[in-house]
Structure 1
Amino acid sequence: MGQAIKILIVEDEMIIAANISLQLSQLGYEVTGIIPRGEEAILHVKQNQPDIVLMDIQLKGELDGIETAQIMQNDFDIPIIYLTANADDEHFNKAKSTHPYAFISKPFKKLDLQRAIELTVSHMQSEKIGDQTLNGNSVSPFILSDSIFVRHHEKMVKVDIKDILYIEAERNYCRIHSTDKQYLLVMTLKDMDEKLPQKHFIRVHRSFIVNLSQIDEVATSHIIIDKKAIPVSKALKEELLNRLHTI
């Protein structure tokens, strides 16, 4: 199932926070909470880990936004986007130490918010490929260990790998068939095969990659996944059977 990217709003001006929440929902993102204080935000993150935090720098209370971000980053690697009405050098330099993904100056437009979040998602994906390349495993930027990010209806959604049934080639496109939706990506099946985590997926035909955990039946020349017969080429069947034996 495609999951919306989860965003926490830490903002003590409730009218601004409610407006941001509405805009995020319209853009297809899931708001995990609107929190006015840094201390409460830290607790919220521990219980409902979001993908991104929108953080007002000038929070009222014991902790300002930068201090809150520093504490969060001790335990969680969550991207921070700062909201600020006061972008002076002192605040900016202090905020830089927390390596934020973006700054948004108030007042801001919906497009500013949308672009900042899309850039953040893009950077998150790029960092994943960097980490995995360092470990000797080059993986596409949009693929994480347990999910992939895909563009769907003008927004980025997260699809759990366990929910992907199979991937079908359509010329220079790939169609991901999941348990409840389909997603079309501008990518060849060959490129997709090179980038998907091998422990979950295997190419069984020039036009199909399947999720090993979703196979219901194996026949002579095809397999069944979710009542669909998917052809298996002779050259790839032996590897498929070997992989199934090791699961």
Structure 2
Amino acid sequence: MKKILIVEDEQELANNICEILANLNYKVAAVVDNAVSALEFLEANSVDLVLMDILIHGDLDGIDLAYKIRDSYDLPIVFSTAYSGTEYLERISSDIHEGYLLKPFTLDSLKTAVFFGLKHHEEKLAKGKKEKGSLKIMDKGYLVPVPYSEITYLKADGLYTKVYTKAKSYLIRDILKSFEEKLPSKQFLRVHKSFLVNISFINSFNAKKVNLGETSIPIRRGLYKELLEKLNL
């Protein structure tokens, strides 16, 4: 029987989820409402999937908690959220989860999300896909391991650097050059004195700028040829 950890701060909803999962022949390992309790539980217990609300109690939200879980445990994560806006859904759409549920959800949608969350994770394991390192970032007093694959670009800001990910951004008291030395050179490129980008997110570019989705970043003179070689074009 598959064991599921529920991270949810709405007690009544958590109770309903427990009842539904039990009827679907899953075992609820525990119900917690914050990141600290979730991590403490995982340290001492094994589960097969984490069903997690985005907005939970405490300083860390569900997205940051997902980063920490993925850094230490190879577990599938299914998010749940009451926000239906496209911008918000795109913000949580990343490699740190296997699916999401939009509140209020039905029995069938919960059943489907959990089933495919477990299935997709098993498929990834079969293909040997694992995160290849992470950048350790201090955020609100917590160490958050952000996978390299989640970082889109970094921007220098004096003695600080702003790290942008697919989920959120972090302001860190360290110069950009320091990050250039920490991040894998095959994946990240200093395109400008103030920008370091993850080349996997570049969807178009010319001799003056690179485009990462809706974000345009200037590139230094003479980089165009190097960028072509980096992208194997």
TM-score by length of 2: 0.52
Give the number of equivalent residue pairs.
129
Cα distance in 2 between the residues matched to 1:60 and 1:52: 20
Cα distance in 2 between the residues matched to 1:15 and 1:128: 34
Percent of counterpart pairs with the same letter? 33
Q: CA RMSD in A?
A: 1.6
Aligned amino acid, residue 15 of structure 2:
A
Cα distance in 2 between the residues matched to 1:12 and 1:104: 15
What is the Cα deviation at residue 98 of structure 1?
A: 4.6
What is the Cα deviation at residue 131 of structure 1?
A: 2.0
| CA displacement 1:59-111 (0-9 Å, x = unmatched) | 12111111111111111111110010013345433323453111100001111
The match for 1:53 is 50
Check whether the contact 1:5–1:29 (CA below 8 A) recurs between aligned residues: yes
| CA displacement 1:199-232 (0-9 Å, x = unmatched) | xxxxxxxxxxxxxxxxxxxxxxxxxxxxxxxxxx
2:114 corresponds to which of 88, 113, 117? 117
The match for 1:138 is none
Aligned amino acid, residue 119 of structure 1:
F
The match for 1:158 is none
1:107 corresponds to which of 104, 108, 114? 104
Q: Which has the larger radius of gyration?
A: 1
What is the Cα deviation at residue 49 of structure 1?
A: 2.1
1:128 corresponds to which of 125, 128, 150? 125
**Alpha-carbon spacing, 1:120–1:68, altered in 2? closer, same or farther (3 Å):** same
The match for 1:31 is 28
Cα distance in 1 between the residues matched to 2:34 and 2:2: 22
The match for 1:6 is 3
What is the Cα deviation at residue 31 of structure 1?
A: 0.5
The match for 1:67 is 64
Check whether the contact 2:98–2:121 (CA below 8 A) recurs between aligned residues: no
Cα distance in 1 between the residues matched to 2:68 and 2:128: 23
| CA displacement 1:114-144 (0-9 Å, x = unmatched) | 1111112221222232129xxxxxxxxxxxx
TM-score by length of 1: 0.49
Cα distance in 2 between the residues matched to 1:91 and 1:68: 17
Cα distance in 1 between the residues matched to 2:85 and 2:39: 25
The match for 1:167 is none
The match for 1:15 is 12
The match for 1:85 is 82
Aligned ranges for residues 78-227 of structure 1 at < 5 Å? 78-131=75-128
Structure 2: unaligned runs, 5 residues or longer: 130-233
Check whether the contact 2:82–2:103 (CA below 8 A) recurs between aligned residues: yes
What is the Cα deviation at residue 39 of structure 1?
A: 1.3
Aligned amino acid, residue 131 of structure 1:
G
Local SS of the residue matching 1:33 = strand
Structure 1: unaligned runs, 5 residues or longer: 133-247
Check whether the contact 2:70–2:96 (CA below 8 A) recurs between aligned residues: no
Local SS of the residue matching 1:8 = strand
Cα distance in 2 between the residues matched to 1:94 and 1:39: 23
Cα distance in 2 between the residues matched to 1:68 and 1:99: 10
Cα distance in 2 between the residues matched to 1:94 and 1:76: 22
What is the Cα deviation at residue 47 of structure 1?
A: 1.1
